[in-house]
Structure 1
Amino acid sequence: MSNQNITEVITLLERKNRLYMALRCPSARATDVKETLHAWLNTFKAVNLACLSKTITADNGLEFADISGLENETLSIYFARPYSALERRFNERHNGLLQRCIPKEVSIKGVSEETTQRILQ
């Protein structure tokens, strides 16, 4: 995917070691979010995904409506309760730190993958 097609970022935080990931996504449409997460999860087929993550907890936005289809015997999908930011507090904190470098009003299209990775380190 070229940067010109990227308009959204999906963030994931591994709770135990605080590994924070930012995945570029073509749009906030549920199908694009599901495809992006599916592609990312497939990168771990050779390495046992269960060693990395057993659950994903998403907020209740429409962009996550289709991700329950990614659930399988080794990965469970949960949805945070509405207005319960504390259930995703560590991810929300890291999102706030990311937004210090890339504010919401800045288009992600203009931010290179290299810059994004440098911010995440």
Structure 2
Amino acid sequence: MDTVIGQKTEKDQVLLILVESKSRYEIVMKIDGKQRQHVDKAASELIEEIGASFPRVFKSITSDNGSEFSGLSECLKGITDVYFTHPYSSWERGTKENQHRFIRRHISKGKPISTVTDHLVHKIQE
């Protein structure tokens, strides 16, 4: 799980990305900010939306140690395993780093995520 920032402002939305490592199944969604409460809310909404199959779809979730993911273990407790990568170890999350490169082809740095259409987010997810 990771976030992609457009503009570096507290008020702009960010993209939240979940990628299942083995199947490469991914979900890309806009959330209201990079703070913990927004990530926790999005995770809870995904669990509710996907339902009982969530642990089968996401056998585990790997995240970096950003403060926005500090509540992830608690939010997903008993649902799926949560792992955190070591600081400054981008090779431990190669799939996500490749996804970031792909996203930046469509959304340049500095472009507000709030101006990105849902159609483009869906296209990126595919």
TM-score scaled by structure 1? 0.86
Tell me the alpha carbon deviations over residues 37-85 of structure 1, each in whole angstroms, 9 at most, x when there is no partner.
111122121x422221121111111111111212333311111111111
Asked if 1:91 corresponds to 2:96, the answer is yes
Over aligned residue pairs, what C-alpha RMSD do you find?
1.6
Structure 1 outlier segments of 4+, above 4 Å: none
Aligned with residue 112 of structure 1, among 111, 114, 117: 117
For residues 33-72 of structure 1, the aligned pairs below 5 Å read 33-45=39-51, 47-72=52-77
For residue 6 of structure 1, report the CA deviation from its aligned partner.
Answer: 6.2
Q: Give the unaligned 5+ runs of structure 1.
A: none
1-side partners of 2:38 and 2:124: how far apart?
24
Asked if 1:32 corresponds to 2:30, the answer is no
Identity over aligned residues, as a percent?
Answer: 24
* CA contact 1:6–1:25 (8 Å) conserved in 2: no
* CA contact 1:12–1:21 (8 Å) conserved in 2: yes
TM-score scaled by structure 2? 0.83
